[in-house]
Chain A
Amino acid sequence: MSHEVYQQAIKDLAGREAGRLVAPTASARLDNPLCGDRIDLDVTVADGTVTGLGQVTRGCLLCKASATVAVEQATGLEVARAVALVEDVRAMLRQGASPPLAGLAAFEAVRPYKSRHECVLLPFKALAKALGSGLP
Chain B
Amino acid sequence: MTIKTIRSAFPVLARAHFHYLDNAAMAQVPGQVINAVAAHDVAARANVHRGLHDLARRADAAYEAARESVAGFLSARPDEVVFTGGCTQALNLVAGGLAESLGPRDMVVVSVAEHHSNLLPWLMLAKRRGFQLASIPVTWDGRLDLSDLSMIDARCKVVAVTHVSNVTGAVSDIPRLAEAAHAVGAKLVVDGAQRTPHGPVDPRALGADFYAFAGHKTYGPTGVGVLWGRAEHLAHLPPAAWGGGMVAGLDGETVDFLDPPRRFEAGTPPVAQAVGLAAALDWMRGLDWDKVRLHEAGLTRQLLAGLAGLDGIELVGPNGLEDRLPVVSFTVKGCHPHDVAHLLGEHGVAVRGGAHCSQPLMKALGLHEGCLRVSMAPYNDDSDIHALLRGLAEAVRVLR
Interaction A to B: yes
Q: Chain B contacts of A119 at CB under 8 A?
A: 338
Total residues of chain B contacting the partner, CB 8 A: 20
Q: A1-B346, A6-B399, A34-B354 are in contact. Are A58 and B369 (CB under 8 A)?
A: yes
A23 at the interface (CB under 8 A from B): no
Contact with B along A28-56 (1 / 0, CB 8 A): 00000111101000000000000000000
Contact call B391/A60, Cβ cutoff below 8 A: no
Contact call A1/B355, Cβ cutoff below 8 A: no
- What distance in Å separates the Cβ of B389 from its nearest Cβ neighbour in chain A? 14
Contact call B355/A35, Cβ cutoff below 8 A: yes
Contact call A61/B399, Cβ cutoff below 8 A: yes
Q: Chain B contacts of A35 at CB under 8 A?
A: 336-338, 353-355, 369-370
B342 at the interface (CB under 8 A from A): yes
Number of A-B contacts defined by CB within 8 Å: 48
Which one, B370, B398, B399, contacts A36 given CB within 8 A? B370
Contact call A6/B339, Cβ cutoff below 8 A: yes
Contact with B along A57-96 (1 / 0, CB 8 A): 0111110000000000000000000000000000000000
Q: Chain B contacts of A59 at CB under 8 A?
A: 336, 369
- What distance in Å separates the Cβ of B318 from its nearest Cβ neighbour in chain A? 23
B394 at the interface (CB under 8 A from A): yes
- What distance in Å separates the Cβ of B380 from its nearest Cβ neighbour in chain A? 21
Which one, A3, A5, A36, contacts B354 given CB within 8 A? A36
Contact with A along B181-225 (1 / 0, CB 8 A): 000000000000000000000000000000000000000000000
Contact call B370/A1, Cβ cutoff below 8 A: no
- What distance in Å separates the Cβ of B400 from its nearest Cβ neighbour in chain A? 9
Q: A35-B354, A36-B368, A59-B369 are in contact. Are A1 and B339 (CB under 8 A)?
A: no
Contact call B343/A60, Cβ cutoff below 8 A: no
Q: Chain A contacts of B391 at CB under 8 A?
A: 1
- What distance in Å separates the Cβ of B352 from its nearest Cβ neighbour in chain A? 11
Interface residues of B in 346-388 (CB under 8 A from A): 346-347, 353-355, 362, 368-370
Q: Which residue of A lies closest to B340 (CB)?
A: A60
Which one, A2, A60, A113, contacts B336 given CB within 8 A? A60
- What distance in Å separates the Cβ of A123 from its nearest Cβ neighbour in chain B? 15
Q: Chain A contacts of B338 at CB under 8 A?
A: 35, 60, 116, 119
- What distance in Å separates the Cβ of B66 from its nearest Cβ neighbour in chain A? 34
Cα of A79 to Cα of B391 in the assembled complex, Å: 44
B395 at the interface (CB under 8 A from A): yes
Cα of A116 to Cα of B346 in the assembled complex, Å: 14
Contact call B368/A58, Cβ cutoff below 8 A: yes
Cα of A107 to Cα of B355 in the assembled complex, Å: 25
Q: Chain B contacts of A116 at CB under 8 A?
A: 338, 342
Contact with B along A3-27 (1 / 0, CB 8 A): 1011000010000000000000000
Contact call A1/B362, Cβ cutoff below 8 A: no
Cα of A2 to Cα of B355 in the assembled complex, Å: 25
- What distance in Å separates the Cβ of A111 from its nearest Cβ neighbour in chain B? 14
Q: A35-B370, A36-B362, A36-B368 are in contact. Are A1 and B354 (CB under 8 A)?
A: no
Contact call A1/B337, Cβ cutoff below 8 A: no
Q: Chain A contacts of B398 at CB under 8 A?
A: 1, 3, 6
Contact call A5/B368, Cβ cutoff below 8 A: no
Contact with A along B281-319 (1 / 0, CB 8 A): 000000000000000000000000000000000000000
- What distance in Å separates the Cβ of A33 from its nearest Cβ neighbour in chain B? 8
Cα of A90 to Cα of B177 in the assembled complex, Å: 49
Interface residues of A in 87-134 (CB under 8 A from B): 113, 116, 119
Cα of A36 to Cα of B394 in the assembled complex, Å: 24
- What distance in Å separates the Cβ of B54 from its nearest Cβ neighbour in chain A? 45
Q: Chain B contacts of A62 at CB under 8 A?
A: 339
Q: Chain A contacts of B354 at CB under 8 A?
A: 34-36
- What distance in Å separates the Cβ of B263 from its nearest Cβ neighbour in chain A? 35
Cα of A2 to Cα of B342 in the assembled complex, Å: 10
Q: Chain A contacts of B343 at CB under 8 A?
A: 1, 6
Cα of A119 to Cα of B341 in the assembled complex, Å: 14
Cα of A35 to Cα of B338 in the assembled complex, Å: 7
- What distance in Å separates the Cβ of B399 from its nearest Cβ neighbour in chain A? 6
Q: Chain A contacts of B394 at CB under 8 A?
A: 1
Report B's interface with A, CB cutoff 8 A.
Answer: 336-339, 342-343, 346-347, 353-355, 362, 368-370, 391, 394-395, 398-399
9 contacts between A and B (CB under 8 A): A1-B343, A1-B398, A6-B339, A6-B399, A35-B336, A35-B338, A36-B368, A60-B338, A60-B369
Sorted from nearest, which 4 A-B pairs have the closest CB atoms?
A60-B336, A60-B338, A2-B346, A35-B338
